[in-house]
Amino acid sequence: MSAQGYHVAVVGATGAVGNEMIKILEERNFPVRTLRLFASSKSVGRKLEFKDEEIPVEELKEDSFKGIEIGLFSPGANVSKRFAPIAVKEGVVVIDNTSAFRMDPEVPLVVPEVNPQAALRHRGLIANPNCSTIQMVVALKPIHDRAKIKRIVVSTYQSVSGTGKKGMDELLEQTKALLNFREIVCKVYPHQIAFNCLPHIDEFLEDGYSKEEWKMINETKKIMEDDSIRVTATTVRVPVFHCHSESVNIETEKKLTAQEVRDILSKAPGVVVYDNPKQREYPLAIDVAGRDEVYVGRIREDKTIPNGLNMWIVADNLRKGAALNAIQIAELLIREGKL
């Protein structure tokens, strides 16, 4: 790094997460010396704004990475599988937001509030976890450290922005069509998403679980560095534009009261406890959108088992669930001298 900062590339710059990465780099005053934006050939000619400057979008090619120090990738798993290793060979530290490398045992899977030490073991490539996994482990790791979590049952209510701009466009168009008594067109999702809930995110596997559900199961164990935690998940797409919400039930080895959990989480990095049901105060997607923290409420004991707890977890999936987490990883590496 020079005194002016780092040479940074955003790969997949024109997508929803790529756009958010550019915005957050500016908001957090990340030490950017130069910023280059890459996407597919169809995006060439577009310009995106960064610090009052319009930066042209370049076509992603194998020779795109000369002189780049940090690569923030969110172009889709297949593109990352092809180009991330090329970037690493060029000396780029790649932080990849796709599913391409998350379960690779050689690649750290990192949430800075949860397992920062894993990032320091990188060999040029770090994976950003699934959005729904990130917000859950940020809230659960402080509890696990205090009382050891034995089992997690999670149901997610995931916004259409998790599918990118095309998902948001489909919800908008279907909503307008319904309100104007026009025919509903389904292109992105297999069924109508407007005014509906789809218990179907990603492909279904032979065991009846979806890929999204298995991502949460496997990634949670890797990030928490504890294969003994039993995790089961049901992931649902809901007609909300921004923010994922989760109903989480946990069983711990040691007994914790609801108030003890509130106290633990109120001191946890990246967490906001917003939990006063009597005053109708609990996390809502419309309030959490655009915020960096993970919000937790509806904390209460599960009376059906000795050491059970329920909670409601909400976070902005494009920020903490994707772009922000990646940039926080880069900031961690800078602080620790690992870039």
Span 213-255, pLDDT tens digits = 999 999 999 999 999 999 999 999 999 999 999 999 999 999 9
Amino acid at 47: K
Is 310's pLDDT higher than 60? yes
**Rounded to an integer, what distance in angstroms lies between the CA atom of residue 188 and that of residue 170?**
7
Q: Calculate mean pLDDT across residues 97-111.
A: 97
pLDDT, residue 2, reads 55
Q: Calculate mean pLDDT across residues 125-136.
A: 98
Is 135's pLDDT higher than 60? yes
Strands 308-315 and 244-252: antiparallel
- DSSP H/E element including 124: none
Q: Taking all residues of the chain, what is their mean pLDDT, rounded to a whole number?
A: 97
- Torsion angle defined by CA atoms of residues 38, 44, 46 and 52, in that order, rounded to the nearest 10 degrees: 40
Span 163-203, pLDDT tens digits = 999 999 999 999 999 999 999 999 999 999 999 999 999 99
In the chain, what percentage of residues exceed pLDDT 90? 98
Per the annotation, the verdict on 244 as an active-site residue is yes
Q: Calculate mean pLDDT across residues 130-148.
A: 98
Query: What six digits make up the tokens of 219?
Result: 């990634």
Q: Calculate mean pLDDT across residues 41-59.
A: 95
Global pTM value: 0.96
Reference 38, options 54, 60, 71; nearest CA is: 60
pLDDT, residue 87, reads 98
- The SS3 call for residue 13 is coil
Q: Which domains, and CATH codes, for the chain?
A: 6-129+322-335 (3.40.50.720), 133-317 (3.30.360.10)
pLDDT, residue 45, reads 87
Is 3's pLDDT higher than 70? no
Q: Calculate mean pLDDT across residues 136-152.
A: 98
Is 291's pLDDT higher than 60? yes
pLDDT, residue 192, reads 98
What's the order of all strands across the beta sheet hosting 93-96? 47-50, 53-59, 32-39, 6-11, 70-73, 93-96, 125-127
pLDDT, residue 243, reads 98
Is 1's pLDDT higher than 80? no
Span 74-87, pLDDT tens digits = 999 999 999 999 99
**Rounded to an integer, what distance in angstroms lies between the CA atom of residue 210 and that of residue 228?**
22
pLDDT, residue 4, reads 82
Catalytic residue among 7, 122, 131, 243: 131
* Contacting residues for 245 by C-beta, under 8 A, at least 6 apart: 156, 157, 158, 238, 283, 285, 312, 313, 314
